[in-house]
Amino acid sequence: MASSNPIVGIVMGSASDAPTMRKACETLDELSISWEMKVCSAHRTPQRAHDYATTARQRGLKVIIAAAGMSAHLAGVMAALTHLPVLGVPMDGKLAGGLDALLSTVNMPKGIPVATMSMGSHGAVNAALMAAAILATSDDNIERTLLDFRKKQTDAIPEEPPAE
């Protein structure tokens, strides 16, 4: 659940992105990693986006997940304003199924990296898992929880497909 001491910050360009990004929250909850989620648009609320990124480190955030759809600049703006790792999640279902958002998020100029996930809910879940992997390099509890999550995921996949 959302925490008063989050270490992962999830920002999104619109509240309309929230249903997709709740998949990231659910995954972080499974891993017992504290998070917060804010609407913070690079275009509609640029000052909020600026303030979020520039205060993130001092507020205790360690990773930022940034989701956006149309003209998807939010992850790049976050990465420009903080040295914290920024994981970009392109929202699907927009122009060309979200391909524009994917290209906008992934195609960063050298010097300001964004680690771009796959589009939509797959990307939201993977952003949470990537955040966990980053945090696990310096947190033994998160590493144990992540390894346990991965083992359970593997164990849950049957070798045989279900009968017709």
Which of 47, 38, 92, 46 lies closest to 65, judged by CA?
38
45 sits near ligand RP5 (criterion: CB under 6 A): no
Nearest residue (CB) to ligand RP5, 91 versus 114: 91
116 sits near ligand RP5 (criterion: CB under 6 A): no
Sequence letter at residue 64: I
C-beta of 67: minimal distance to ligand RP5 in Å?
6
What DSSP character marks residue 32? T
14 sits near ligand RP5 (criterion: CB under 6 A): yes
Q: How far is CA 128 from CA 124, 134, 161, in A?
A: 7, 10, 28
Nearest residue (CB) to ligand RP5, 48 versus 139: 48
Residues 72-91 within binding reach of ligand RP5 (CB under 6 A): 91
Q: How far is CA 53 from CA 23, 93, 159, in A?
A: 22, 27, 44
123 sits near ligand RP5 (criterion: CB under 6 A): no
